[in-house]
Amino acid sequence: MNTVDELSATIAVVAPNGHQRVVSLRISSLTSKPRIAVAGCGYWGRNLVRNMAKAGVLAAVCDSNRTLREAIATEFQAPGREWSEVLADPTIAGVVIAAPAVHHATLAREALDAGKHAFVEKPLALDERDAEALCDLAAAKGRTLMVGHLLQYHPAFLKLKELVSAGRLGRLQYIYSNRLNLGKVRREENILWSFAPHDISMILSLAGDMPQTVIATGAAYLHREIADVTTTHLTFASGLNAHVFVSWLHPFKEQKLVVVGDRGMAVFDDGRPWAEKVLLYPHRVDWKDGQPVPNRAEAEPVVLDEAEPLALECAHFLDCIAGRTTPRTDGEEGTRVLRVLRAADRSIQEKRPIALAAASAAPSAHPGATIHPTAFVDSPAQIGAGTKIWHFSHVLGHTSIGRDCVIGQNVMIGPRVSVGDRCKIQNNVSIYQGVTLEDGVFCGPSMVFTNVLNPRAEVERKNEFLPTLVRRGTTIGANATIVCGTTLGAYSFIAAGAVVTKDVPDHGLMAGVPARRIGWVSHAGERLGEDWTCPRTGQRYRERQGRLEEIT
């Protein structure tokens, strides 16, 4: 059951006698809203309940403490229900999970298994393998998985990120974050897991990269085994450094993020009034007579749109469900933050720096393969020896990649995709479920595989995926499109920008929109002329009954 979105408006009406009166109008729109249940009604869960109720989507509240559950249910006029009832209710589209962190992975898995969209408060899980499994499950079910990294939705941070993206600070050199307070002391998690996820999430977002090394120290004062104060230092391949200082044993509250670039500096201080939350310092350092000389400038307040970050975060979750779009803080982002947290935990326990590639266990899981620290390989997946996977690429679960392949930057493969040996996949290519690449296939930059014939953003068609087979030795040019359900014959050649809508014969040279055969190519990829001889290898061919044959 969906509720109808209503828009309110107030207008001034002037009567003939000159008197003015105010009239309120309520207009129903055609936009429907998903119904949402909140699991966990404690300190933070109550705020989520409040926002979902305010948005008009609160369908139920759950909590193991029945007294608390009924009190929250009464306050916000929503049914108090058992978790099993929520999962079984087909009218509830999504759940918000604000239970203790130790239960996050289990509750999220149960929600996704039941076909619900899931918003999970940080951290997504306590173990990377659980987080990766949740990402796979969400992809398989076609459901939204979002992590509650609240500050990614704060107007001040969004403005700060905008300044960085626009180059106002220049090349980033250093970031530090302080999150300090007296309390709230926890016993189920240490200060690192309680406070630091937000700061790590912001730093990774600004850096656009994963750190190479994590070094962390911690100290426990109130409990022998639960750290009250930690400092975490991150080093990045770009030369950027960052540190996060968190404590719940501090004499005053401080929530401050400082970003230093070579052309300016900026401070996000959440303890300041809105007019001062983000200050831009156009400081720079000049060099005179071989010496660095600071050149100070007055701070410039940055104008912000005031809004409650949690309300924006909840609205983003609802928008992602309605529009079937990827959340800003999706499961993959939550997993990246989790990897850094786990590495910091290891560093504290083992009293040594942790190389993040080792912390993610990707290289040891795929011996002989080279996987860049910013790339992600979900489990289970098979990566052959000699294969190289470069920056920001993602291999989803149940995918097999052969030996000696080269996977460029920003490539997505999977789930359940098979790639043969010695394939080369250039930048910005996505290979979806249903596509099979045999050995020696070349995929040019930004070429496209489709998976359904008539996609609609609002129509679920995962059961209509059509298989696409790319046979051995095929070359697909830059920006070409391969419509699903086709087979590209062995050693065929698809010209740049072509749109293939039907099967391609072996050695066929295809060009145009829609693509048509304009000639033949040899095994070496050379176009054959009137003499039917490959100019590179000397191999001779002949055409017979619409097919190309070798002459031995």
Q: How far apart are CA 539 and CA 502, in angstroms?
A: 28
- Tens-digit pLDDT profile for residues 114-150: 999 999 999 999 988 899 999 999 999 999 999 999 9
For 30-42, what is each residue's pLDDT tens digit? 347 899 999 999 9
Q: In the chain, pLDDT over 90 holds for what percent of residues?
A: 65
Least confident of 4-8, 273-277, 291-295, 326-330: 4-8
pLDDT of residue 464: 81
**Residue 44 burial (CB < 10 Å; 0-12/13-18/19+)?**
middle
- Average pLDDT of the segment spanning 306-313: 95
The answer to whether the predicted template modeling score (pTM) of the entire model surpasses 0.85 is no
Q: Considering only CA atoms, which of 422, 490, 428, 502 is closest in space to residue 466?
A: 502
Q: Over the stretch 195-205, which tens digit does the pLDDT of each residue have? A: 899 999 999 99
- Report how far Cα 420 is from the mean position of its chain's Cα atoms: 27
Confidence of residue 187 (pLDDT cuts 50, 70, 90): low
What are 360's two structure tokens? 């993610």
Beta bridge mates, 511 = 516
In this structure, the strands spanning 278-281 and 172-182 are unpaired
User: 36-39 and 58-62: which strand pairing?
Assistant: parallel
178 forms beta bridges with 245, 256
Each residue of 466-484: pLDDT tens digit? 899 999 999 999 999 999 9
Domains of the chain are 3-143 (3.40.50.720), 152-305 (3.30.360.10), 362-551 (2.160.10.10)
Residue 10 pLDDT > 60: no
CA distances from 162 to 206, 244, 461, 510 (A): 10, 22, 36, 43
* Mean pLDDT for all residues in the chain: 88
Which range, of 6-15, 354-363, 525-534, averages the lowest pLDDT? Answer: 6-15
Mean pLDDT within 82-91: 96
Report the alpha-carbon distance of residue 61 to residue 49 in Å, rounded: 8
What's the rounded mean pLDDT across residues 438-452? Answer: 94
Instruction: Check residue 511 and give its pLDDT.
Output: 96
pLDDT score at 379: 77
What's the pLDDT at 359? 43
How far, in Å, CA of 479 to CA of 459, rounded? 26
